């Protein structure tokens, strides 16, 4: 296996100087907790800690070399190989990581895709990773590495031989996407949708659309802009695409004029079936994930596949094997003596649009005898002065989708709790952890429970607790029974 970076390439990209002989560089990292032997460790300055404090630990864990600021290099004499980088900015190491990322982008012949959107960008990025990975060497962002350090880190990790690159780009303020799109320089840029997410940082929904439209500014000459034709902000996004170097625009959705159009979407409890027309070609495919929002985003995936000139038929087959990642729709059976309950993990993040989509998905799940549909919802953040109304407004979706019980965590979500009829109220708690025991005692065979909230509310600990009690325990019991004489 060829090294990801040679010493000469690192010095040329950064203008730095290697001190000591580096080991083979096979990856890149900014976190010693997940660092793998052979990673190039970037000692960037985080919000709370300085990466230079962890250089010795990184080298001790087998890092190929550590990238450090030139004025700190002597501190690590004799510790291991370091790349001392110059710079007068706030963080020379972050600048060096960007420079190495740019070197990776310059050397690759890969077709590069950039994905953003208010809802569904990570799931869409993962779907593209999945379908393109079946057609060639594919490199993509890990988790939600979509910000000012995640994007250059993902670029720095990209092997020279990559055929397809998929990059997620996020933002919560205007003009954040501009420099990231300039680094990625995509051949194809996709916006999943525009919704009132991070609205406290913007004067209007149109301003959010403008911020998302910044992704087209990075398109290489002749590139392709992929836009959701159903979104009310389509004209605004189209204007951004037309002002860019895009050679063409491909639209997707259910709109009669969409280039990639859904003719029929069949939603089932654990999958979806889509009948579509892709640039005039009929295509029917199955998705291994449930939910109307996922089906709609799959149209964007097919638009990207067409734009890249990849194989549509193979992509359609690959989508059937797609499974949702943890925190974004992962499903787990919870085992009880009388049967099973069903857990849907949507705990990674939340906003009003994704909340409504998840409640609709919960409504489509079949329950067992005496089973109930239970929503466990945590606060949605960054909604500004509309926060109370946005939380309270979810009551209509709860009613429409026939959710039987709602448990809430956080002061904001209490507005929803109080807007619900008493018959639909479970428990309102200040912290997500306070819901674990009451919920665990209430659950029974036949139930379907969905957990969702903004990441900082830590709804994931509810999911993990339920898995440990009812999913992992069931596995242990089954193993014990199998081993019994």
For position 2, what pLDDT does the model report?
67
Tell me how far apart the alpha carbons of residues 404 and 389 are, in angstroms, rounded to a whole number: 22
Q: How would residue 43 be classed by pLDDT, with cut points 50, 70 and 90? A: very high
Mean of all residue pLDDT scores within the chain: 92
Q: Higher pLDDT residue, 473 or 352?
A: 352
CB count, 10 Å around CB of 339?
A: 15
Residue 480: pLDDT over 70: no
- Has this prediction a pTM greater than 0.85? no
Question: Which range is least confidently modeled, 46-50, 108-112, 410-414?
Answer: 46-50
Mean pLDDT of 282-288: 94
Q: What phi-psi label fits residue 417: left (phi over 0), alpha (psi between -120 and 50 degrees) or beta?
A: alpha
Structure tokens given for 220: 């290489």
Residue 483: pLDDT over 50: no
For position 477, what pLDDT does the model report?
40
Q: How would residue 479 be classed by pLDDT, with cut points 50, 70 and 90? A: very low
Q: How would residue 474 be classed by pLDDT, with cut points 50, 70 and 90? A: very low
For position 47, what pLDDT does the model report?
82
Question: Which range is least confidently modeled, 304-313, 390-399, 464-473?
Answer: 464-473
pLDDT in tens, 216-275: 999 999 999 999 999 999 999 999 999 999 999 999 999 999 999 999 999 887 789 999
Torsion angles phi and psi, residue 158, rounded to 5: -80, 120
Tell me how far apart the alpha carbons of residues 55 and 82 are, in angstroms, rounded to a whole number: 9
Q: How would residue 89 be classed by pLDDT, with cut points 50, 70 and 90? A: confident
Q: Which domains can be identified in the chain, with CATH numbers?
A: 7-89 (3.40.1390.10), 108-319 (3.40.1190.10), 330-480 (3.90.190.20)
Tell me how far apart the alpha carbons of residues 276 and 266 are, in angstroms, rounded to a whole number: 12
Residue 364: pLDDT over 90: no
Q: What is the largest CA-CA distance in the chain?
A: 72
pLDDT in tens, 373-388: 999 999 999 898 999 9
Question: Is residue 133 a contact partner of residue 166, using CB atoms and an 8 Å limit?
Answer: no
Mean pLDDT of 39-68: 95
Question: Is residue 216 a contact partner of residue 241, using CB atoms and an 8 Å limit?
Answer: yes
Query: Do β-strands 39-42 and 17-19 pair in parallel, antiparallel, or remain unpaired?
Result: unpaired
pLDDT in tens, 152-178: 999 999 999 999 999 999 998 999 999
Residue 420: pLDDT over 70: yes
Alpha carbon 246 to its chain centroid, in Å, reads 25
Alpha carbon 172 to its chain centroid, in Å, reads 14
Q: What phi-psi label fits residue 19: left (phi over 0), alpha (psi between -120 and 50 degrees) or beta?
A: beta
Residue 417: pLDDT over 80: yes
Residue 199: pLDDT over 90: no
Question: Is residue 170 a contact partner of residue 95, using CB atoms and an 8 Å limit?
Answer: no
For position 314, what pLDDT does the model report?
96
Tell me how far apart the alpha carbons of residues 479 and 452 are, in angstroms, rounded to a whole number: 31
Question: Is residue 347 a contact partner of residue 192, using CB atoms and an 8 Å limit?
Answer: no
């Amino acid at each position: 296996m060829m090294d990801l970076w040679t010493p000469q390439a690192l010095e040329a990209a950064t203008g730095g100087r290697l001190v000591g002989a580096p080991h083979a560089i096979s990856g890149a990292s900014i976190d010693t907790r997940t660092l793998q032997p052979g990673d190039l460790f970037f000692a960037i300055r985080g919000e709370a800690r300085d990466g230079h404090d962890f250089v010795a630990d990184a080298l001790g864990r087998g890092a190929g070399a550590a990238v450090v600021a030139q004025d700190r290099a002597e501190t690590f004499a004799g510790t291991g190989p370091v790349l001392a980088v110059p710079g007068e900015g706030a963080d020379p190491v972050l600048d060096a990581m960007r420079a190495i990322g740019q070197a990776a982008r310059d050397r690759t012949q890969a077709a590069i895709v950039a994905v953003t959107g208010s809802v569904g960008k990570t799931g869409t990025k993962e779907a593209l990773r999945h379908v393109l990975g079946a057609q060639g060497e594919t490199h993509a962002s890990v988790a939600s590495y979509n910000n000012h350090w995640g994007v250059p880190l993902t670029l720095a990790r990209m092997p020279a031989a990559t055929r397809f690159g998929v990059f997620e780009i996020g933002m919560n303020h205007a003009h954040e996407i501009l420099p990231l799109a300039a680094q990625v320089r995509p051949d194809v840029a996709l916006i999943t949708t525009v919704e009132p997410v991070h609205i406290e940082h913007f004067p209007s929904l149109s301003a959010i659309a403008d911020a998302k439209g910044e992704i087209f500014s990075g398109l290489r000459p002749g590139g392709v802009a992929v836009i959701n034709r159903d979104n009310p902000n389509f004209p605004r996004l189209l204007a951004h695409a037309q002002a860019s170097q895009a050679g063409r625009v491909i639209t997707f959705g259910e709109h009669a004029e969409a280039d990639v159009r859904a003719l029929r979407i069949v939603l089932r409890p654990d999958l979806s079936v889509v009948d579509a027309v892709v640039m005039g070609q009929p295509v029917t495919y199955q998705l291994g994930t449930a939910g109307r929002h996922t089906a709609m985003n799959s149209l964007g995936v097919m638009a990207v596949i067409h734009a890249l000139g990849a194989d549509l038929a193979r992509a359609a087959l690959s989508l059937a094997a797609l499974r949702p990642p943890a925190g974004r729709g992962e499903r787990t059976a919870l085992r009880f003596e009388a049967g099973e309950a069903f857990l849907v993990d949507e705990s990674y993040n939340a906003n009003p649009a994704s909340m409504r989509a998840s409640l609709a998905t919960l409504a489509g799940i079949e329950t067992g005898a005496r089973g109930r549909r239970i929503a466990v919802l945590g606060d949605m953040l960054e909604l500004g002065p509309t926060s109370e109304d946005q939380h309270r407004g979810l009551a209509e979706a709860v009613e429409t989708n026939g959710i039987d019980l709602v448990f809430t965590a956080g002061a904001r979500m209490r507005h929803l709790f109080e807007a619900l009829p008493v018959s639909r109220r479970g428990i309102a708690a200040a912290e997500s952890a306070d819901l674990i025991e009451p919920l665990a005692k209430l659950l029974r065979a036949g139930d379907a429970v969905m957990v969702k909230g903004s990441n900082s509310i830590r709804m994931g600990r509810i999911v993990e607790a339920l898995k440990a009690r009812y999913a992992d325990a069931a596995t242990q019991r089954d193993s014990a029974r199998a081993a019994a004489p």
